[in-house]
Structure formats: C-alpha cells, structure tokens
C-alpha cells in the first residue's frame, strides 16, 4: 500500500489523468456490475470502504491479519471487503475456516496468486501454490511418499540428529567464546535448518556452487539469501495493480524488475544445483534425495523440477525456524514454564539425552509446541483461495469469482474459542479437550485436502530442538526484550532476531 501511495506522489500528471479516466470508466463498470451482484440477498456483511479503492487504505499498516481480526469483533467471523476491484471474503473462526477448507473444498479449491507469487512460483508449479488438479495430486503424492510422510521422515532421521548435534556444538562454542554475552538464536538455528533442507532436497549439503549465468561462485550464505530470504521478501511485495486489473497497462517497472530479478536469480541457482546433482547421479553417487524421486516421474519440465525442489528448500527453511524462535522466546520469558518443561524432561529421560523416541512421553513439550503454533501461527493468512462456483459459507451466499482469505491468526486468537487468547499458556492443552497425538489442535497447519504436508517434519524438528535446548541450558531474555513481539509485515517472523542469555545447566 505504501508503494501505491508513493506511486501516486511520484507519477506524472498526464499518467495520473489517464489513470483517473481509466478508474472512472472502470468505476462505472464496477458500480453496474456490483449493483447486479448486490441483488443477491444473503451475502456476508461488508466492511464499509471508499468508492473504487474499497478498504485498501484501512490496510496500510501491512498487518492485514490483525486488522481482519479486529473487524471480526464488529462484523462477525465472516465478512467481505473490497481490495480495489476484487471482493475478498475473510474467514476468522475455526468453524467457518474448516467449512471452507473441508466441507466446501470442491467449490474453493483453486488458488488466486498475487503477481509476485505467480512470478516466484513459475505460475503455480509447486505443490503449495498449484490448483487442485492432476498435477497437484501427482506431486503431493511424491512429496508425501518420499519426503514428508511418516515413513519417509523415519528414513530421514539421520539428517535431524546431525542438525541437532551441530546446533548444540555451535551453541557450546558460542558460549565458550563469550560466556556472558547474548546468543543470536536465529543465526544458530537457521544455518543448520538450511543445511537439512539442502540435504533433503538435493541429497547433500552444499558449501558453494558456481552459477554460469551469474558468472560467479556463490557461498552458502549467498544461496540462503537467493533461495530463502529474497523470495520470502518478494512474496509479500504488493503490486498495486493486483487490486486494479483494469490498470495493468500502467507501468510499475521498478517493482517488476525487482521481483523478476529475484525469480531469475533463484531460477539459475536452482538450475546449477540440480545440474550438479544430476552429474553426481550419473557417477553413481546419487544419494537418496527428493530431486532423484522427481526425476523418476519423467514428465516434469525444467521449470517444474526447479520449482518443486526449491519448494522443499524454502518450506523447510522458514516456518520451522519461525516457530522454534517464538517457542524459545516464550520459554525464556516464562521461567516457571521453562522449569516445568525441564522437570518433565528430567523425569522422562533421567540422565540420557532426549531423543525422538522420548517425544511421545513428553506431554508438556507437546503443549509448548501447539501453544506456540496457536499464539504465533507462522502462516497468518493462507494464500488466497478462489471460489470457482457459487457456494455457501457460514450460512451466507458466496458468489463465484470471490476470493477467500482464511485468517489463521484470527482463528487461533478467537476469544469465543480460546480463553485469554493473548496469553501464551501451554497448560490449556492439558485440560482434556485435545488429543495428544493430534497435529491439528489449532488451525496453524490448515485443514482438509490442502493441509500442511510438512507438519510431521515441523513437529519433530521443533520439539527435539526445544527439548535439547532446555535439557542442556537455562534460557533468559535480555532485559527489556519482554515486549518485543513485533513481526515482519504480514508474516509471523519476529521483527528482531531473538538474542538471549543461555547458561549451561550444572
Ligand atoms: C510450523 C511449521 C509449518 C506451518 C505452520 C505450516 C503451515 C502450512 C499451512 C497453513 C498450509 C496450508 C495452506 C493452504 O491450505 O492453502 C501449508 C501447506 C503446505 N506446507 Fe506447511 N507449514 C509448516 C511447515 C512445513 C514444512 C517443514 C514443509 C516441508 C518441508 C511444509 C510443506 C507444505 C506443503 C508442501 C504444503 C502444501 C500442501 C497442499 O497444498 O496440498 N510445511 N503449510
């Protein structure tokens, strides 16, 4: 939205005049078209906005999930807003979100991607961004069978064990070098998680790679920036023309160049990584990797392969880091709860190191995981769904061609469903209302046919990491950090990396 306002301030009067004429003509169409739509009797309540731009100015804070949740208090769990020319139906309770994701899935199964996401995902060529079609079914089966399902995760246990022991080793070194200093948790965790993601996707860790199209050797840090940081930033970059499709002809070249550069860097780096891995396979060195399984499908194009392998890297590297960082923040902030978890680990494991075999007995740890998912849902709003036939939600008529925003943040912070939702209180999951083994106690992993494919991996990595961190060390926040809960725009990532005092337990 800032980009939109900046654009208005910096644009030549003649372009603004032709835009105004365009808006006027489009406005007439919108009013006529809308007038027709409003003949429908039973659509969800609409949040009042301005002509033509609708509710866009009310969203300029860039935390739409929070604004949507506030509106839900006034307009109820389901309402509509206007983002320029599009109508967006916003869902804010578990009940209505589940209805959309499960019961009415057949009418709401396609995606509506922003321009940025369309460019970055090579136009829906990934599991998470594709429409629900034969391609989706094929690649989802492939990712579950070979990488993310329970059986495949068992096979990949070694990668997780190495990840955890590397993190503990690095933590020890950091503490030895500066015993009284604060540790940057994000640096400690993200490097090892990225290493694991590379191993899963490509069968081996990669320190550097020569990329012919860029004419240079990229280090692991460069790889992380090109494959994870830049696309995450790009994915939430708004092209204001998304809201006014009839103004597509107005150039927004700065924005387009930026996203195209990110997409093309990612593309050529992935191509180099895949070619390198193919060479190793030809020399009989191909270890077990997701790429090897994708290659065996034979029907996929280069764009498909690049997008699907990159998908694993970015999905494995991001959300799990976000949730573990929040869990360690909350444990450091709440010493009594940290003690409770430590006591549980002592009772279950005695003097042994915690391993994944202990996880089913660590009930409080499970509560810490789910409460962090609830309070800090890493995916606050599910990528928009598109209604492809008239349907009903929450008793309201939903017209075809509406877009649906499922606000997972609001579902997990809904006062009707969760007592004192602002409080981080893991004990709420011990109150007998939730099954221990249910990974979907909150809406954080979505629901139905498009529910998160990586929930088992996320749970295993997060829980074993938290358990080892708390078993070996006491965690304490740096003074003054108690209220640092701001996030990066519409994501749930902490605005500032967690820096925390870590003391080895005796
Ligand atoms: C705490 C960590 C995670 C959270 C909270 C999370 C959340 C989500 C959510 C809400 C969706 C549903 C999107 C929708 O309904 O449209 C989703 C889908 C997906 N997630 Fe995750 N995710 C996490 C970790 C992972 C990991 C580690 C991976 C893989 C390495 C992964 C892979 C996927 C895939 C492939 C989909 C698409 C499923 C489909 O469209 O059928 N996720 N995730």
Q: Is the CB of 454 under 6 A from ligand 1?
A: yes
Contacts of 360 (CB under 8 A, 6+ apart): 436, 437
Q: Count Cβ atoms below 10 Å from residue 310 Cβ, excluding itself.
A: 25
Instruction: Give the C-alpha separation, 456 to 75, whole Å.
Output: 36
In the prediction, which pLDDT does 380 show?
95
In the prediction, which pLDDT does 14 show?
39
Length of the chain, in residues: 506
Q: Based on DSSP, count helices (H) and strands (E) in the chain, helices before strands.
A: 19, 12
Q: Is the CB of 323 under 6 A from ligand 1?
A: yes
In the prediction, which pLDDT does 31 show?
41
In the prediction, which pLDDT does 430 show?
92
Task: Tell me the average pLDDT across 325-343.
Answer: 98
Residue having the nearest C-alpha atom to atom 7 of ligand 1: 445
Atom of ligand 1 nearest to the CA of 446: 10
Whether the CB-CB separation of 139 and 127 falls below 8 Å is answered with yes
Whether the CB-CB separation of 69 and 407 falls below 8 Å is answered with yes
The DSSP secondary-structure symbol of 70 reads: H
Question: pLDDT per residue over 233-246, tens digit each?
Answer: 999 888 999 999 89
Q: Which phi-psi region, left, alpha or beta, contains residue 284 (left: φ > 0; alpha: ψ -120 to 50)?
A: left
Instruction: Give the C-alpha separation, 58 to 55, whole Å.
Output: 5
User: Looking at the DSSP assignment, which residues form a beta bridge with residue 54?
Assistant: 50, 83
Cα dist from 385 to 30, 106, 114, 306, whole Å: 22, 12, 11, 24
Q: Is the CB of 147 under 6 A from ligand 1?
A: no
In the prediction, which pLDDT does 404 show?
97
Q: Is the CB of 445 under 6 A from ligand 1?
A: yes
User: Looking at the DSSP assignment, which residues form a beta bridge with residue 396?
Assistant: 393
Average per-residue pLDDT for the chain: 90
CA dihedral over 254, 256, 262, 267, signed as positive or negative: negative
Task: Tell me the average pLDDT across 47-68.
Answer: 93
The token duo for 199 is: 């191993």
Q: Is the CB of 463 under 6 A from ligand 1?
A: no
Task: Tell me the average pLDDT across 188-212.
Answer: 96
Instruction: Give the C-alpha separation, 318 to 269, whole Å.
Output: 19
283, pLDDT greater than 90: no
The token duo for 136 is: 């989706």
CA 489 distance to own-chain centroid:
13
Q: Is the CB of 448 under 6 A from ligand 1?
A: no
Q: What CATH number is given to the structural domain containing 167?
A: 1.10.630.10
CA dihedral over 18, 20, 23, 29, signed as positive or negative: negative
Whether the CB-CB separation of 132 and 110 falls below 8 Å is answered with yes
**Beta strands of 49-85 (E only): which ranges?**
78-83
Residue having the nearest C-alpha atom to atom 43 of ligand 1: 452
In the prediction, which pLDDT does 431 show?
87
pTM: 0.91
In the prediction, which pLDDT does 5 show?
37
Share of the chain above pLDDT 90, in %: 80
Whether the CB-CB separation of 116 and 266 falls below 8 Å is answered with no
Whether 58 maps to a domain, the answer reads no
Q: Which phi-psi region, left, alpha or beta, contains residue 495 (left: φ > 0; alpha: ψ -120 to 50)?
A: alpha
Task: Tell how far the Cα of 379 is from the centroid of ligand 1, in angstroms.
Answer: 8
Instruction: Give the C-alpha separation, 122 to 262, whole Å.
Output: 12
Question: pLDDT per residue over 450-488, tens digit each?
Answer: 999 999 999 999 999 999 999 999 999 999 888 888 888
Whether 47 maps to a domain, the answer reads no
Q: Is the CB of 196 under 6 A from ligand 1?
A: no
Least confident segment among 34-43, 151-160, 254-263, 358-367: 34-43
Instruction: Give the C-alpha separation, 414 to 101, whole Å.
Output: 18
Which helix (H) or strand (E) covers residue 91, if one does? Answer: strand 86-91
Task: Tell how far the Cα of 382 is from the centroid of ligand 1, in angstroms.
Answer: 10
Question: Which structural domain range is residue 465 located in?
Answer: 134-504
Domain count, the chain: 1
Residue whose entry in the numeric block shows the structure tokens 């509710």? 55
Which helix (H) or strand (E) covers residue 97, if one does? Answer: helix 94-98
Task: Tell how far the Cα of 452 is from the centroid of ligand 1, in angstroms.
Answer: 3
CA 402 distance to own-chain centroid:
23
The token duo for 253 is: 């070249």
Q: Is the CB of 380 under 6 A from ligand 1?
A: no
Whether 486 maps to a domain, the answer reads yes
The token duo for 120 is: 């970055």
Least confident segment among 32-41, 100-109, 170-179, 220-229: 32-41
Whether 374 maps to a domain, the answer reads yes
**Beta strands of 291-400 (E only): which ranges?**
385-386, 391-393, 396-398
Question: pLDDT per residue over 383-430, tens digit each?
Answer: 999 999 999 999 999 999 999 999 999 999 999 999 999 999 999 999
In the prediction, which pLDDT does 396 show?
98
The more confidently predicted of residues 177 and 39 is: 177
Contacts of 42 (CB under 8 A, 6+ apart): 395, 396, 397
Instruction: Give the C-alpha separation, 148 to 136, whole Å.
Output: 15
Instruction: Give the C-alpha separation, 243 to 57, whole Å.
Output: 12
452 is in an annotated binding site: yes
The token duo for 1 is: 């939205």
In the prediction, which pLDDT does 286 show?
63
The token duo for 346 is: 């002592």
Atom of ligand 1 nearest to the CA of 444: 5
SS3 499: strand
Whether 353 maps to a domain, the answer reads yes
In the prediction, which pLDDT does 60 show?
83
């Amino acid at each position: 939205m800032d980009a939109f306002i900046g654009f208005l301030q910096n644009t030549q009067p003649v372009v603004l005049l032709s835009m105004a004429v365009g808006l006027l003509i489009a406005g007439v169409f919108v009013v006529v078209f809308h007038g027709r739509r409003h003949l429908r009797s039973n659509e969800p309540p609409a949040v009042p906005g301005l002509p033509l731009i609708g509710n866009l100015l009310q969203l300029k804070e860039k935390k739409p999930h929070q604004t949507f949740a506030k509106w839900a208090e006034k307009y109820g769990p389901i309402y509509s807003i206007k983002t320029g020319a599009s109508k967006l139906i916003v869902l804010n309770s578990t009940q209505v979100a589940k209805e959309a994701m499960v019961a009415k899935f057949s009418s709401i199964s396609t995606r509506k991607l922003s321009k940025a996401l369309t460019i970055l995902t090579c136009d829906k060529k990934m599991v998470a961004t594709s429409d629900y079609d034969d391609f989706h079914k094929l690649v989802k089966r492939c990712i579950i069978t070979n990488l993310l399902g329970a059986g495949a995760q068992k096979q990949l246990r070694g990668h997780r064990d190495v990840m955890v022991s590397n993190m503990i080793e690095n933590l020890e070194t950091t503490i030895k070098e500066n015993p009284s200093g604060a540790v940057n948790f994000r640096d400690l965790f993200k490097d090892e998680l990225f290493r694991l993601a590379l191993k899963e996707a490509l069968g081996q860790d990669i320190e550097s790679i020569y990329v012919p199209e860029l004419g240079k050797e990229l280090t692991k840090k460069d790889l992380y920036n090109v494959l994870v940081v830049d696309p995450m930033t790009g994915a939430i970059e708004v092209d204001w023309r998304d809201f006014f499709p009839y103004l597509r002809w107005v150039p927004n070249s700065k924005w387009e160049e930026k996203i195209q550069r990110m997409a093309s860097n990612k593309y050529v780096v992935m191509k180099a990584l895949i070619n390198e891995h193919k060479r190793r396979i030809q020399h009989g060195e191909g270890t077990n990797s997701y790429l090897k399984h994708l290659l065996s499908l034979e029907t996929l194009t280069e764009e498909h392969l690049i997008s699907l392998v990159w998908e694993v890297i970015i999905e494995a590297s991001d959300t799990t880091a976000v949730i573990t960082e929040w869990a360690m923040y909350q444990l450091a902030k709440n010493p009594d709860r940290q003690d409770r978890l430590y006591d549980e680990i002592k009772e279950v494991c005695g003097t042994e190191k915690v391993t994944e075999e202990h996880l089913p007995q660590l009930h409080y740890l499970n509560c810490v995981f789910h409460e962090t998912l609830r309070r800090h849902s890493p995916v606050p709003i599910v990528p928009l769904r598109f209604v492809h036939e008239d349907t009903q939600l929450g008793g309201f008529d939903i017209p075809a061609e509406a877009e649906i925003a499922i606000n997972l943040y609001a579902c997990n912070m809904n006062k009707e469903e969760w007592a004192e939702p602002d409080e981080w209180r893991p004990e709420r999951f011990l109150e007998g209302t939730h099954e221990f083994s249910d990974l979907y106690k909150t809406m954080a992993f979505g629901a139905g046919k498009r529910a998160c494919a990586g929930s088992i991996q996320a749970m295993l990595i997060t829980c074993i990491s938290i358990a080892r961190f708390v078993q070996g060390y006491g965690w304490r926040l740096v003074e003054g950090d108690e209220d640092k809960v701001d996030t990066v725009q519409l994501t749930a990532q902490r605005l500032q990396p967690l820096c925390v005092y870590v003391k080895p337990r005796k």
